[in-house]
């Protein structure tokens, strides 16, 4: 059963969590996620451009900002900008894991870390 607790699941979750945390802190340009709230949010002008043309005005995971323009944390988490960041960070992490010599270090055979959910949770905590 996939949801059973395997002896290595805790260690794997810890490694996955560490990798996600490291990539997100680098992306936001902070030393630790506890400082992520100090990062300047994406400007409303850039958000308007993004909404009109996401391909041209999309985000870069190398120097990311969050969209904090909504009234509630739920709305912020559901913003197209933040959802795109979650998607791009998850795909980037999957590519890193696929390129390592031993991908089992980041997941068990037949199982995989749900990177989208992990990044969504981390970003929700920041917002």
Please enumerate in sequence order all residues whose Cβ is within 8 A of that of 22, keeping only pairs 6 or more positions apart, or say none.
none
Separation in Å, CA 27 to CA 35, 63, 97, 99: 13, 5, 17, 20
What would the two tokens of residue 127 be? 């917002």
pLDDT digits (tens, 9 = 90+) for 56-110: 999 888 889 999 999 999 999 999 999 999 999 999 988 887 777 666 666 545 5
Are 127 and 68 in contact by the 8 Å Cβ rule? The answer is: yes
pLDDT digits (tens, 9 = 90+) for 10-66: 665 677 788 889 999 999 999 998 999 899 999 999 999 999 999 999 988 888 999
């Amino acid at each position: 059963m996939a949801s059973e607790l395997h002896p290595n699941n805790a260690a794997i979750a810890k490694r996955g969590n560490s990798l996600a945390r490291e990539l997100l802190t680098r992306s936001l340009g902070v030393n630790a996620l506890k400082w992520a709230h100090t990062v300047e949010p994406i400007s409303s002008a850039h958000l308007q451009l993004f909404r009109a043309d996401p391909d041209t005005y999309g985000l870069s995971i190398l120097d990311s900002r969050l969209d904090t323009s909504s009234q509630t944390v739920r709305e912020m988490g559901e913003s197209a900008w933040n959802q795109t960041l979650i998607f791009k960070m998850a795909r980037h992490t999957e590519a890193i894991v696929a390129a390592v010599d031993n991908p089992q270090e980041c997941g068990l055979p037949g199982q995989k870390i749900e990177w989208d959910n992990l990044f969504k949770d981390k970003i929700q905590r920041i917002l």
